[in-house]
A and B are shown apart, each in its own frame.
Chain A
Amino acid sequence: MTGNEIINLLVIVCVLLGTFLSLVTMVGLLRLPDVYSRSHAASKSATLGVMFILIGALLYFYQDYGLDARLILGILFVLITSPVAGHLISRAAYYSGVPLWDKSIRDDLKKVAKKRSSASE
């Protein structure tokens, strides 16, 4: 087995894993009951999936062009920004009054949010 075949095998494994995680994200978006669990599914597994695919692309282009700075920057950027975006949108959903799933039993943020809103008035 030559080095190129090994790299191709690694690329195939990474891309397949990434695609699987993207499909998991899709299933999570379709089947989970409320905004918060959907955001949980979307921000975690989509981030990991796209990072696997970008690592596969990094390995693939390593054969011809060496380590590509654009791909490394893309991986770091997705790693940093995607959880932040998930946090911001869940927070916006909570404070704009989107209800939780009716079977959820615990809401710790409610007390803090009430105290905060009464302090600001």
Chain B
Amino acid sequence: MLSTVLMVCLILLSLALLGSIYRLIKGPSTADRVIALDTIGITMIALVAVLSMYLKTSAFLEVILLIGILTFIGTVAFAKFIERGVVLDRKRDH
């Protein structure tokens, strides 16, 4: 019962991932693509959690934290790049 539900959820989450990938390819502005990437990262967290329940192992749970942190840093860097044109500010002279 539980493993059937988890398999169905894996398939549906992959469908959600495909929708985000469509927005990533099609999106008219750069911000659309970054939003789609952020959503893909979040959905990948959910996929890893469901997969680790399906395989009955707790070995993949670090991956959840890792994907979360990397997605956040990537989104912040992209947002700063879109807004200001640089990611890391240079130090002022005075």
Contact = CB atoms under 8 A, between A and B. Distances in A.
A89 B38 CA distance: 10
A26 B87 CA distance: 29
A98 B29 contact: yes
B85 to A, nearest CB: 9
Interface of A: 8, 11-12, 15-16, 18-19, 22-23, 25-27, 29-30, 35, 38-39, 42-43, 46-47, 49-50, 53-54, 56-57, 60-61, 64-65, 68, 70-71, 73-74, 77-78, 81-82, 84-86, 88-93, 95-96, 98
21 contacts: A15-B6, A18-B46, A19-B9, A19-B13, A19-B46, A22-B46, A29-B35, A29-B36, A30-B23, A39-B35, A46-B39, A49-B42, A50-B46, A54-B45, A74-B45, A74-B61, A77-B65, A77-B69, A78-B68, A85-B75, A89-B75
